[in-house]
Amino acid sequence: MRILYSHRVQSKDGQSVHIEELTGALRRQGHVLDIVGPAFYEQAGFGGGDKSLVSSLKAHLPGAAYELAELGYNAVSIPPLLRAGRANRPDVIYERYNLFHLAGLTARRVLKRPLLLEVNSPLAEERARHGNLKLQRLAKRIEAATWRGADLVLPVTNVLADHVRAAGVPDERIHVVQNGIDPRLYASLDPRPFRARLQLGSGEIAIGFVGFVRPWHGLDRVLDRMARDRRANLRLIIAGDGPAISDLKAQAKALGIASRVQFLGLVERADIPGLLASFDVALQPHVVAYASPLKLFEYMAAARAIVAPATPNIREVLTDKTDALLVQPDDPDDLWGAITALADDAALRTRLGDGARNTLLTRDYTWDGNARRIASLAEMLGARHAAGKDARDFAANRRQVIE
């Protein structure tokens, strides 16, 4: 099958991990992909930030003007997508949704090929909530029209599927595909090299977090409870960069626990499996309500004992006391209680870590599994299109694909 893959991601970060892992899995399974995205994406370094023209415009234009520039960017993104489609005659179009990005929807209409739309967040709502969206009514109308115009919408959680459904997309055109991982990278890992690099003693318990660090992640609450705790063998390892790092460093110093907290900064992707193997407890202290956190699947693949909030999107994946300890959201005492329960019980850590990896493998939360699911749906859409039928009308067959 030939897939025309469209995205508007501008920098190498968690979004790019999803793009590269999923497209790699599709190619491993024999599919041909023509990927069309911003030219500067290929030159970006992982975690290096967005240095594109779009980023420059965002920094210098007033909010509404920047949003109109985003909409105007379609004049740049649509022509190469159409050229690739006309030259390669894809069976389907696959696009990673972005606000004001109409390339996939336009290509569907012009090329007359089915469109699968991957949705990772309700961007109009998200940006409005954080106060940096001026043209809210326009953004919400375009978002809803984009979702409704796709032949199939692939949100990453059931919580996010509810947002898509509320925008008017029929249930039969919504199929949840969680994020994934390549579990082969996490097989038979030896934690000793990384523990040695981190100077962790044999009796020390490593409490770890990986990813972009934002204030809402709640690591400040972990530092606060750690300072109050008498266990001298607890170490907090934070791997990643982000806007919360400087405040967390200052907090650790003010609390007198700077020697018990390590800030590793950006860690190369190739080193993540080994780093996670050195963790005794893996943290997801807080989560966006509709997200499918990549770090969660990394923790599961590494068979780590996970502490995460008992929010609906997390409970779609994990079960309390089976493959994680799930705590009450926004309750720092409950969070710290789960952390110390795991710190004090090696057998519990092993049982939950093994349970997490077993859940990952049993439910196939892998990039290869996602590629198979997406390809099955795409092939069905393509077959209906080739038969002259409406590619969006396949509710009767969809359940068979899901099962």
User: Of 241, 63, 240, 193, which is closest to residue 136 (Cα–Cα)?
Assistant: 63
Candidate from 25-34, 249-258, 305-314, 382-391 with smallest mean pLDDT: 382-391
Question: Mean per-residue pLDDT for 135-162?
Answer: 97
- pLDDT winner (highest mean) among 37-46, 140-149, 265-274, 383-392: 140-149
* Residue 26 or 390, more confident: 26
Q: How are beta strands 152-155 and 205-210 bridged, if at all? A: unpaired
* Residue 359 or 14, more confident: 359
Confidence of residue 400 (pLDDT cuts 50, 70, 90): very low
* pLDDT over 90 (residue 348): yes
Residues 357, 363, 365, 369, Cα dihedral to 10°:
130
CA pair distance 105, 110, nearest whole angstrom:
9
Confidence of residue 59 (pLDDT cuts 50, 70, 90): low
CB contact at 8 A, 317 and 177: no
User: Could you tell me what percent of the chain has a pLDDT over 70?
Assistant: 90
CA pair distance 401, 23, nearest whole angstrom:
20
Residues paired with 325 in a beta bridge: 307
Buried-state track 198-210, b at ≥16 Cβ within 10 A, e below 16: bebeeebbbbbbb
Q: Structure tokens of 137?
A: 């009514």
User: Within 13 A of 269's CA, how many CA atoms are on the CB side?
Assistant: 15
User: Of 30, 21, 10, which is closest to residue 183 (Cα–Cα)?
Assistant: 21
CA pair distance 102, 284, nearest whole angstrom:
34
Confidence of residue 382 (pLDDT cuts 50, 70, 90): confident
* pLDDT over 80 (residue 204): yes
User: Phi and psi at residue 302, in whole multiples of 5°?
Assistant: -85, 0
* pLDDT over 90 (residue 42): no
Question: Mean per-residue pLDDT for 282-289?
Answer: 96
CA pair distance 55, 206, nearest whole angstrom:
37
Confidence of residue 56 (pLDDT cuts 50, 70, 90): low
CB contact at 8 A, 355 and 300: no
Q: In angstroms, what CA-CA distances link 252 with 180, 225, 246?
A: 33, 11, 10
**Which H or E run contains 82?**
helix 74-88
* pLDDT over 80 (residue 222): yes
Q: Structure tokens of 24?
A: 């790699």
CA pair distance 106, 109, nearest whole angstrom:
5
Confidence of residue 60 (pLDDT cuts 50, 70, 90): low
User: Could you tell me what percent of the chain has a pLDDT over 90?
Assistant: 80
Question: Mean per-residue pLDDT for 150-167?
Answer: 98
Q: Structure tokens of 125?
A: 């709502």
Average pLDDT in the chain: 91
120 alpha carbon, distance to own chain's centre: 7
Look up the pTM and report it: 0.91
CA pair distance 144, 267, nearest whole angstrom:
37
* pLDDT over 60 (residue 48): no
For the segment 91-143, what is each residue's pLDDT rounded down to a tens digit? Answer: 999 999 999 999 999 999 999 999 999 999 999 999 999 878 999 999 999 99
Q: Which domains does the chain have, with CATH numbers?
A: 2-180+366-402 (3.40.50.2000), 184-362 (3.40.50.2000)
Question: Mean per-residue pLDDT for 157-170?
Answer: 98
Q: Quick one: pLDDT at residue 395?
A: 47
Q: Quick one: pLDDT at residue 357?
A: 98
Q: Structure tokens of 86?
A: 């006309």
Q: Quick one: pLDDT at residue 402?
A: 40
CB contact at 8 A, 220 and 247: yes
Q: Structure tokens of 205?
A: 């318990």
* pLDDT over 70 (residue 239): yes
* pLDDT over 90 (residue 88): yes
CA pair distance 257, 232, nearest whole angstrom:
10
CA pair distance 370, 45, nearest whole angstrom:
26
Q: Quick one: pLDDT at residue 401?
A: 42
Question: Mean per-residue pLDDT for 29-35?
Answer: 97
Q: In angstroms, what CA-CA distances link 220 with 5, 31, 252?
A: 39, 45, 9
**Which H or E run contains 358?**
helix 346-362
Question: Mean per-residue pLDDT for 367-379?
Answer: 97
Q: Quick one: pLDDT at residue 284?
A: 97
